[in-house]
């Protein structure tokens, strides 16, 4: 973003950067930056809080009054909460299915409600909702030791498949929890640490590594710190 600020200013535009990382912006010297120590991915700080977002914008736009480069700090710090959300998971319904497949099928109604209420979904990079279930079945086979080169994965691209499975779960979860919006990494933590699908994904990722699949194929199936 700071790079674009330099380019845009040189073209005669006035810019303000909402900066997430203070040490990065200090080195990149954009013309005007409001450093906001908010969870990464949430530069306006709080979803579904228009007043807070408005205040961030007002502080950022105020920097346009200063007639020299400036780096200011938003006074509030929001820490990315990594405690898994408390979200009910479906009971085991069909024990002939892999646990993650059964679980994903059980979450389908919640996922469908999310799509209906939001009118958009992040699922669909390579899989639709039915494909999420089919892909989990294959990942379960990989996790159980079957060769990834022998058992084809619906959607093929492991990174995109992982994205679609996680998005399906995250969107379903948002329909199943009450209260204020979950913090920065709470739903991610829930997915990877508490769901059968998360466990299956991580086990399949480990199996790919052990079967010496190319590094990007397995590494980007989960966030780097996992």
Partner 1 sequence: MRELAASLPVPEFETTAFTPLSVPLGEARVAIVTSAALHRPDDDPFTATDTSFRTLAAEDRDLLLGHWSPNFDRVGYTIDPNVAYPIDRLRELADEGVIGEVAPRHFSFAGNQPDTVAEVRLDSGPACAAELVADGVDVVLLTPV
Name which of residues 141 to 180 contact partner 1 (CB under 8 A).
Answer: 159-160, 162-163, 166-167, 170-171, 174
Q: Which stretch binds partner 1 (CB under 8 A): 90-98, 114-122, 134-142, 147-155?
A: 114-122
Task: Encode 5-19: b = buried (16+ Cβ within 10 Å), e = exposed.
Answer: beeeeeeeeebbbbb
Say whether residue 120 binds partner 1 (CB under 8 A): yes
The residue from 41, 88, 145, 179 that contacts partner 1 (CB under 8 A) is 41
Say whether residue 23 binds partner 1 (CB under 8 A): yes
Nearer to partner 1, 80 or 97 (CB): 80
Start-to-end CA distance of the chain, whole Å, equals: 26
| Minimal distance, residue 95 CB to partner 1, in Å | 30
Say whether residue 96 binds partner 1 (CB under 8 A): no
Alpha helices in 38-185 (DSSP H): 50-62, 99-106, 108-118, 129-143, 158-176
Q: Which of 146, 156, 190, 153 is nearest to 171 (CA)?
A: 190
| Minimal distance, residue 224 CB to partner 1, in Å | 5
Nearer to partner 1, 48 or 91 (CB): 48
Contact between 18 and 41 (Cβ < 8 Å): no
Say whether residue 139 binds partner 1 (CB under 8 A): no
Say whether residue 77 binds partner 1 (CB under 8 A): no
Neighbours of 201 (CB within 10 A): 29
Contact between 198 and 208 (Cβ < 8 Å): no
Task: Kindly list the distances between the CA atom of residue 153 and the CA atoms of 87, 158, 222, in Å, as whole numbers in the listed order.
Answer: 28, 8, 17
Using CB under 8 A as the binding criterion, the count of chain residues that bind partner 1 stands at 79
Nearer to partner 1, 41 or 145 (CB): 41
> Which x/- pattern over 181-200 shows residues binding partner 1 (rule: CB under 8 A)?
xx-xxxxx------------
Residue 42 DSSP class: -
Q: Which of 11, 55, 57 is nearest to 31 (CA)?
A: 11
Q: Which of 47, 45, 76, 74 is nearest to 62 (CA)?
A: 74
Q: List phi, psi (to 5°) of 42.
A: -130, 65
Nearer to partner 1, 51 or 150 (CB): 51
Say whether residue 92 binds partner 1 (CB under 8 A): no
Say whether residue 58 binds partner 1 (CB under 8 A): yes
Say whether residue 86 binds partner 1 (CB under 8 A): no
Q: Which stretch binds partner 1 (CB under 8 A): 93-101, 105-113, 122-130, 134-142?
A: 122-130
């Amino acid at each position: 973003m700071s790079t674009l600020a330099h380019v845009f200013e040189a073209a005669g535009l006035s810019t303000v950067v909402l900066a997430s990382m203070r040490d990065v912006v200090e080195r990149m010297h954009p013309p005007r930056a409001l450093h906001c120590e908010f969870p990464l991915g949430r530069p306006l700080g709080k979803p579904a809080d228009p007043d807070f977002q408005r205040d961030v914008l007002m502080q950022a736009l105020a920097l346009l009054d200063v007639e020299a480069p400036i780096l200011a700090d938003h006074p509030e710090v929001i820490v990315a909460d990594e405690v898994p959300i408390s979200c009910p998971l479906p009971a085991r319904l069909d024990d002939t299915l892999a646990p993650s497949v059964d679980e994903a099928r059980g979450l389908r109604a919640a996922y469908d409600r999310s799509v209906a209420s939001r009118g958009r979904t992040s699922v669909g990079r390579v899989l639709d909702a039915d494909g999420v279930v089919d892909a989990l079945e294959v990942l379960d086979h990989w996790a159980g030791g079957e060769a990834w080169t022998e058992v084809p994965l619906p959607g093929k691209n492991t990174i995109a498949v992982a994205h679609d499975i996680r998005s399906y779960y995250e969107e379903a979860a948002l329909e199943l929890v009450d209260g204020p919006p979950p913090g920065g990494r709470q739903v991610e933590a829930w997915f990877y640490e508490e769901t059968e699908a998360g466990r299956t994904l991580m086990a399949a990722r480990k199996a790919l590594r052990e079967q010496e699949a190319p590094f990007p194929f397995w590494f980007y199936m989960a966030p780097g710190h996992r």
